[in-house]
Amino acid sequence: VNLSATKAPASASPKALAAASAVTTGTKRLLVIRVDFVDHTGTPQDSWTDQSITPNWAAGIVNGELSDFVSEFSYNKYDVTTSSADVTSVYRMSRSAFSYYLYDNWYALASEAKTAASRHGYNLANYQHYIIVFDEIPAVEFAGLATLGARDYVIINGYFEGGTLAHELFHNLGLNHANLWVTESPTSPLGKGKLEEYGDSYDVMGSGYWRYWIPRSTLHPNPYFLDRLGWLDPGSVHLVKAAGTYRIHRYDTASANHGNTLALKIFRKSGQYLWVGFRDDLFSVYSTAEDMAEGLYVVAQGMTRSRGSNLIDFGSDPTDTEVDDASLNAGDDFFDPVGGIYLHPLRFGGSGDQSWIEVEVDIPEVPTIQPVTVPSAIVSAPFLLDIDASETPRSFKILGLPSGLTYNKSTGVISGTPNVSGTFTITVYAYNSLGRSLALQFDLVIEAIDEDETGKFSGLVEADPVLSQELGGKIDLTVTKTGYYTATLRLGRELYRLKGRALSEIGGSLTIERQIARRGRAPLAIEIQVHADGTFSGALDDTEGMGDHAAFEGLKSPWNKVTNPVVDYLGAFNLAMDLPVEEEGNAAVPQGTGFMRCLVDSSGLVRWSGRSGDGLAFAGTGCLLRDGSIPLFQLLRNATGALRGTVAIDGSNGAVSGTPEWFQKPIAARLYPDGFGPIALEVTGARYVAPATGELLLGLPLELDNARIEFSGGDVEIASRFAELNQVCTINE
């Protein structure tokens, strides 16, 4: 027998109707409309008893069996009545039974039947439910059909008896079917699964009670349904908010005391409710399902989108549809790992209508966040902190995180790389379906990068035959307080611009490790360490395992024209670059003395220009380091030669010294076919101080022929045989 419901068009919602006491309480008058069809004629017969459904017989069923059922189930809050005068004649429908069946158009049948009753003098407004009955059509699969959540109609396909009528009337009141939850695992009654429609054989909204000889008079709707209809007093349903032992009195009797707890409502942290009740009526009748009176009767609300209930089968095999052993028996226990619920029926007590069962319950709660051990943190270093909380939180909310740190809303993990230093008060909340945890607060201390590890740095790269074509190089590096860097790497004739973020370490150095892409060649590996003493060092290596390697080191340039201007090293400096004594007279080496002029401004920027010992002009820029040194890297002759090294200014007296190298690769020219160097030049110089007004350079007297220019070295003596090279001259203001 299939008992069905169909949604009424343009009807109120089941929830709204179930909440309206005018709909679910009081005595309701029924109009019984009997119909037949051109292809299925005659007075309807009851399929259970083969009795003709006459007005008197129908009224007897409604006022007897049906009234007894619904008043028992509703604790006498709801009843039905009719009279033989409320049972119509048999009306012939305009279409064949086959037509209604073929097109499944039962709403049209109900509308026509009600119209016929109205036409024959029945005032439809005087009735709360309309029962339309016809002789059983074997091809039709249902025994009854009704609108869900509206009183539009109940259709009975021959089965005019209390159980079917109550089932369909309760659809009108808003109840869905009482289903069974069938799981995929025999050991997991609440595990992954699907619903079996009508599968709760203990509930009038289910089916299959005849399999277990369960009397229809004991088919009380489950507590969830009774609560929806308002038939359980609010005080008789206990919403479990704390673990404990609870006494549940039997609810399946009209004389149940609603001052007692008749049902427990327990929230699963996975989002559903369990309704726990105690059925004892089966003790008084013969049934192969007497086991239900041996423990807890549990149905779930919300296992699917349907508003139906789902019986939970704690029996031997929850993967099948047999429910004769579905109760959770006293002495057994059950833990729901997904929902976080523990149930343990303990003992029975009382007798008759006042019998009860006690159950130990443990439930999920709002999360509790565990104390955290906050790791040390520093700007520009990866940070990770796991937040642990009980009760399987669904989400987290974390307030007060500094720039650079974020959190995973699902796991609570805090991660990222801090951009700022300071002490930050962090507030953490965890949420599950029950609500929000108490706040966990802690201080997060983030150290700043050492001041001497930030700012501008410059240094020279040692020469390597492959990496820099023997020319050497220079690296200029800028590191911000947040750890981001930019760098310019001059490696021989090649220029690379780099940017990224350095890795800091508490008490350690700032580290940059990366690769430098090169077109048509394997990338270079570069590693830089910036130290807390204002120095930096590192190396370049090929990534092909060829052993090519070039180290570098340098210092910080701390100057700023506003906050830390150059004072002792400010100004212009003139330098001479002489060959070392051992190279004098060496025909393979240019024998001239070079010179250079350096201009240092208040920001530490250095501009230089000059000529090499063989008369080649050059110019470039660099920076003044904290100790007054200037790293020079100047390419010469179309990047076939270089001037490289460091010159230093003595801030106390303005003297300049150093030993930069002069290097020239072999070039296809008659001057340097074999190349030369590197040669360590001897640099001497001083700050240029312009003479006062009226004075000459070097304190020369203001007169004619006050100076003489002399040349030496480079075998200039040979040239002097043909002309006098040393000349007297006059220097004026």
Torsion of CA 375, 377, 380, 381, to 10 degrees: -30
Domain edges within the chain: 2-173, 178-362, 377-447, 451-687, 697-729
How many other CB atoms sit within 10 Å of the CB of residue 722?
A: 7
Count of alpha carbons within 13 Å of 698, Cβ hemisphere only?
A: 6
- Alpha helices for 174-238 (secondary structure H): 223-228
Q: Residue 646's pLDDT band (boundaries 50, 70, 90)?
A: very high
Given a cut of 90, whether residue 63 has pLDDT beyond it is yes
CA neighbor of 550 nearest in space, from 618, 470, 609:
470
CB proximity list for 469: less than 8 A, separation 6 or greater: 492, 493, 665
What is the CA angle 519-521-522, rounded to 5? 120
Amino acid found at 352: G
Q: Which two tokens stand for residue 168?
A: 């369909």
Cβ-in-10-Å burial (0-12, 13-18, 19+) of 137 comes to middle
Q: What are the b/e assignments for 88-114, b being 16+ CB within 10 Å? A: bebbebebebebbbeeeebbebbebbb
Of residues 125 and 591, more confidently modeled? 125
What are φ and ψ of residue 685, in 5° steps?
180, 180
CA separation for the pair 540, 536 (Å, rounded): 14
Of residues 207 and 396, more confidently modeled? 396
Strands 414-416 and 405-407: antiparallel
Q: Residue 720's pLDDT band (boundaries 50, 70, 90)?
A: low
**How high is the pLDDT of residue 714?**
63
Given a cut of 70, whether residue 18 has pLDDT beyond it is no
CA separation for the pair 423, 434 (Å, rounded): 33
CA separation for the pair 171, 299 (Å, rounded): 19
Given a cut of 70, whether residue 20 has pLDDT beyond it is no
CA separation for the pair 176, 305 (Å, rounded): 12
Q: Which two tokens stand for residue 250?
A: 């039997």
CA separation for the pair 149, 618 (Å, rounded): 96
224, 301 Cβ separation under 8 angstroms? yes
CA neighbor of 475 nearest in space, from 554, 556, 558:
554
Q: Which two tokens stand for residue 597?
A: 């002029």
Count of alpha carbons within 13 Å of 256, Cβ hemisphere only?
A: 34
> How confident is the model over 662-670, as a mean pLDDT?
86
Render pLDDT for 461-474 as a digit per residue (tens, 0 to 9).
999 999 999 999 99
> How confident is the model over 701-720, as a mean pLDDT?
76
Number of H helices, E strands in the chain: 9, 47
Count of alpha carbons within 13 Å of 438, Cβ hemisphere only?
A: 6
Element (H, E) at 171: helix 162-173
How many other CB atoms sit within 10 Å of the CB of residue 439?
A: 12
Q: Mean pLDDT in the chain?
A: 92
3-state secondary structure (DSSP) of residue 18: helix
CA separation for the pair 699, 706 (Å, rounded): 10
What are φ and ψ of residue 673, in 5° steps?
-65, -25
CA separation for the pair 457, 528 (Å, rounded): 11
**How high is the pLDDT of residue 13?**
42
CA separation for the pair 357, 350 (Å, rounded): 9
> How confident is the model over 126-153, as a mean pLDDT?
94
Amino acid found at 295: G
How far is it between the farthest Cα atoms of the chain?
Answer: 156
Render pLDDT for 472-508 as a digit per residue (tens, 0 to 9).
999 999 999 999 999 999 999 999 999 999 999 999 9
Q: Residue 239's pLDDT band (boundaries 50, 70, 90)?
A: very high
Element (H, E) at 575: strand 571-578
**How high is the pLDDT of residue 721?**
64
Partners of 344 in the β-ladder: 360
2-173 folds as: Collagenase (Catalytic Domain) (3.40.390)
How many residues does this entry show for the chain?
A: 733
CA separation for the pair 150, 129 (Å, rounded): 9
CA separation for the pair 263, 297 (Å, rounded): 10
Render pLDDT for 590-616 as a digit per residue (tens, 0 to 9).
988 999 999 999 999 999 999 999 999
Which DSSP state fits 396?
E
Q: What's domain 451-687's architecture?
A: Beta Barrel (2.40)
Render pLDDT for 307-346 as a digit per residue (tens, 0 to 9).
889 999 999 999 999 999 999 999 999 999 888 899 999 9
CA neighbor of 656 nearest in space, from 559, 534, 568, 561:
568
Render pLDDT for 501-544 as a digit per residue (tens, 0 to 9).
999 999 999 999 999 999 888 999 999 999 999 999 999 999 88
Count of alpha carbons within 13 Å of 437, Cβ hemisphere only?
A: 27
> How confident is the model over 2-19, as a mean pLDDT?
40
| CA pseudo-torsion sign 346, 350, 356, 360 | negative
The CATH class given to the 377-447 domain equals: mainly beta
Question: What Rg, from alpha-carbon coordinates, does the chain have?
Answer: 50
**pLDDT cut 70: percent of the chain above it:** 95
Render pLDDT for 254-295 as a digit per residue (tens, 0 to 9).
999 999 999 999 998 788 999 999 999 877 776 788 889 899
pTM for the predicted model, two decimal places: 0.62
| Cα 128–chain centre separation | 52
> How confident is the model over 548-558, as a mean pLDDT?
97
Of residues 624 and 352, more confidently modeled? 624
| Cα 659–chain centre separation | 60
Given a cut of 70, whether residue 24 has pLDDT beyond it is yes
CB proximity list for 201: less than 8 A, separation 6 or greater: 207, 208, 209, 211, 212, 214, 289, 323
CB proximity list for 715: less than 8 A, separation 6 or greater: 585, 591
Q: Tokens 């801090």 sit at which residue?
A: 418
Q: Which two tokens stand for residue 472?
A: 């050497």
| Cα 274–chain centre separation | 30
**How high is the pLDDT of residue 11?**
36
CB proximity list for 252: less than 8 A, separation 6 or greater: 218, 220, 277, 279, 280, 281
What are φ and ψ of residue 21, in 5° steps?
-60, -25
Cβ-in-10-Å burial (0-12, 13-18, 19+) of 699 comes to exposed
